[in-house]
Structure 1
């Protein structure tokens, strides 16, 4: 039975579960939860196996680095590929790779062959699959649910990760104690199968374009340029780095907290991870109520403060039950942070660049976790676990002070649906796609009293021009006629300019309508095109 994306009508239902009424999202969500249970079991198995193979805090932290570093290195190229090729087939390929690596690691571990560096290398290889999968998997959510359900769908995805975090580690602790880490690696390999089945049956609706697909290097450059000129998305990236570089300390040190501070074993480690998962699930359930009372900037600040304080207390506790409580508190803060930043990114990105934008965010998140793990593992080696967690907590609070000026409010008002309201340029001859550069000149005749407002809106428009492909932009005033202004911008080729026609959004159109109301005749300004010879 094929699974089709459904665009349900807007509903006043405020239930956090409402996206699950959409069949394709429900099946994908369930399949992902099952797969993530396997992944969390795998993470516990890898972390504990390394703790058994080596007593070095750096080697234990290196497992987290090997998981995160490939995402930091490869997420942006992976995002470009996911925007160029069919995301469904691309995801199926990535999942098969991860299944293969998990199976190999399981067999080697059960055979007693795995050592510290085999574990690190194969964990890195599995991380490559994660890097290829994450941007594409995140970017399909808006294709599975209507826009008015996106907030709740993102929260449900985060909840699903943490449901699996609550189940997987607890199961892994029992299985590792009974059968060893190799068994959980094999269970992880099997857990990917359901995702493959759902992706295979999903009938993805692809928006057709008459233009050729973007080239790989150009697609990466375009994605980076878009992010550089998307203010709200940049704010989300700043908050991601400033939080996760310090929050990574808890994840890197958790096996050592279980082993050294709490004098426990794999069950203790699994229960601590499960407590984080339970807290995150609880946080997801109360997230709609929190969102109704606080804006995104306030939620980021609150989550950072609570997480930092809980991490600080954890480093000074050697009692099991209080640590479980503080792990749950960390889970609540984590889900609020992840959901807020992920939703902001989703709502800031149009479909044509969504995988690349989310890939850059993922690279920053996972890079922060990777480098943070190395940093805090090194700190713990020379000063101890308590000092490392204390320093990380204080660092997170200081980073919040410096990053708070980067605001994410207002993203819910964005309508990034292509407006397609630009007229196709009239040319006296056929222009080849690779011909360039192209200079577009727009003539405006404004009401004199509107000059300041006009220039303010034009500089806002400049970010849109650059975001969608312009490498040069300016607005010039006629020295003879004070009501006459021209705007010009340049793009690399005729093809890139034609892509701009497809990239302009309804939100961009609203800005251009505001500018038009400041003109003398309130009509569409004259546009001329020039192309290199």
Structure 2
């Protein structure tokens, strides 16, 4: 099978989804940029910076498998409209609290935790919804395009946030994020979806969710990828939590340039996602997984020890390229390696492993940075990612390339609401 670049845009529903997500993701990255700066501004504590981020991710860890079961049992569009609406209200509440001068760290933590709980349902549903819009044949292209829109938003959102924060403070970033959810909700409502039979299960949602773990355990390819995701989730993402520390204490820069640090990461990720989307049936997906993690880790080690702003931009851009090469490939392999009936639950496990482990990584990064400094913390964490990439690569050469995606399974029907 040959995958045509940008073939997913043939589907009207996916075009609506893409535009809405692009606008919303820019708002999300504006909020992410502002929230880290706000916490460090309020507390000046690396430990609290990591702790608040950890609190925000804990609900995702505990609830994402339930969210995956919801994805397999209920209409995905209806669930997404609900989750997006709740996150819009949470962002608006943050804006009001900041602009009225009433904001406290515990309020940031509570609203971040609320968003994390909603994301536990939103993420697996949104991931599983893609194949419903485009079908299996165009799934790899759609995953690459989804990564490109996130990466593009990571360029624009933080850069705009840095400019806005420098001039008006953090509150407008939260208001902008709240408004951006309207684009997603409007796109979802405008979709024309063919109803499909609902999955009827005599099991409870919690028991039904266990099916995701069963499928991951029985599939060596998916299990191996989840193990790598676990490592990157705990150790690889520590740098993002500590970026405000690097900006103020290591590089000595203000809000505008802090936004550019995040934007640089997005530039590399955008380039990588466009390359992934154009590769089609590239036969060596395993190399994209291990090579991506290796590049990601090495560049973060280099970033952690530089005190020059322009070198920091370069290393973060290359780290973004490596990260998205790994992430997009892993996402595609996992989705195309499992049956349609359990995809939502498997993506719930994916959300738990990749996103839900961020709390542990964030807390660990905050504790280590408090005692050993941000540079040594990121350097050690990134080195673990490098060692894992090398180890998996060596093991793969002795094995049979079990990470390659399987796109010959039962085809999902594009345009169905399931």
TM-score (norm 2): 0.92
Distance 1:371 1:211 in 2: 36
Structure 2 residue matching 1:237: 3-state secondary structure: helix
What does residue 415 of structure 1 align with?
Answer: 409
Choose from 168, 182, 198 the match for 1:193: 182
Structure 1 residue 400: deviation in Å? 2.8
Write out aligned runs for 1:173-188 (5 A).
Answer: 173-188=162-177
Query: Which of structures 1 and 2 has the larger relative contact order (alpha carbons within 8 angstroms, sep 6+)?
Result: 2
Deviates more, 1:397-406 or 1:143-152: 397-406
Counterparts in 2 of 1:159 and 1:63: CA distance versus 1, 3 Å:
farther
Write out aligned runs for 1:22-37 (5 A).
Answer: 22-37=11-26
Q: Deviations over 1:90-138 (max 9, x none)?
A: 1111111111111111101111111111111111111222222110001
What does residue 323 of structure 1 align with?
Answer: 312
Q: Deviations over 1:154-200 (max 9, x none)?
A: 00001100100000000111111222111111111110011111212
Distance 2:25 2:339 in 1: 27
Deviates more, 1:163-172 or 1:392-401: 392-401
Structure 2 residue matching 1:412: 3-state secondary structure: coil
What does residue 393 of structure 1 align with?
Answer: 382
Larger radius of gyration: 1
1:68 equivalent to 2:68? Answer no
Write out aligned runs for 1:91-102 (5 A).
Answer: 91-102=80-91
Structure 1 residue 381: deviation in Å? 0.7
**1:258–1:264: 8 Å Cα contact kept in structure 2?**
yes
Structure 1 residue 287: deviation in Å? 2.3
Q: Deviations over 1:278-313 (max 9, x none)?
A: 111111222256676661221111111111111111
Distance 2:218 2:190 in 1: 37
1:215 equivalent to 2:177? Answer no
Structure 2 residue matching 1:147: 3-state secondary structure: coil
Distance 1:357 1:395 in 2: 26
Choose from 248, 253, 258 the match for 2:237: 248
Structure 2 residue matching 1:208: 3-state secondary structure: coil
Between the two proteins, the alignment pairs up a number of residues equal to 407
Write out aligned runs for 1:224-235 (5 A).
Answer: 224-235=213-224
Distance 1:293 1:192 in 2: 35
Counterparts in 2 of 1:193 and 1:81: CA distance versus 1, 3 Å:
same
Structure 1 residue 19: deviation in Å? 1.5
Structure 2 gap ranges (5+): 413-418
**1:135–1:356: 8 Å Cα contact kept in structure 2?**
yes
Distance 1:79 1:210 in 2: 13
What does residue 363 of structure 1 align with?
Answer: 352
**Structure with the higher helix share, 1 or 2:** 2
What does residue 27 of structure 2 align with?
Answer: 38
What does residue 258 of structure 2 align with?
Answer: 269
What does residue 415 of structure 2 align with?
Answer: none
Distance 1:203 1:291 in 2: 27
**1:84–1:214: 8 Å Cα contact kept in structure 2?**
no
Counterparts in 2 of 1:382 and 1:294: CA distance versus 1, 3 Å:
farther
**Structure with the higher strand share, 1 or 2:** 1
Counterparts in 2 of 1:73 and 1:415: CA distance versus 1, 3 Å:
same
1:238 equivalent to 2:250? Answer no
Counterparts in 2 of 1:369 and 1:205: CA distance versus 1, 3 Å:
same
Write out aligned runs for 1:91-490 (5 A).
Answer: 91-208=80-197, 214-288=203-277, 295-404=284-393, 405=395, 408-417=402-411
Distance 2:75 2:279 in 1: 37
Distance 1:210 1:150 in 2: 22
Structure 1 residue 14: deviation in Å? 3.3
Structure 2 residue matching 1:411: 3-state secondary structure: coil
Counterparts in 2 of 1:416 and 1:318: CA distance versus 1, 3 Å:
same
Structure 1 residue 22: deviation in Å? 1.9
RMSD: 2.0
What does residue 14 of structure 1 align with?
Answer: 4
Deviates more, 1:107-116 or 1:236-245: 236-245
Structure 1 gap ranges (5+): 1-9, 419-533
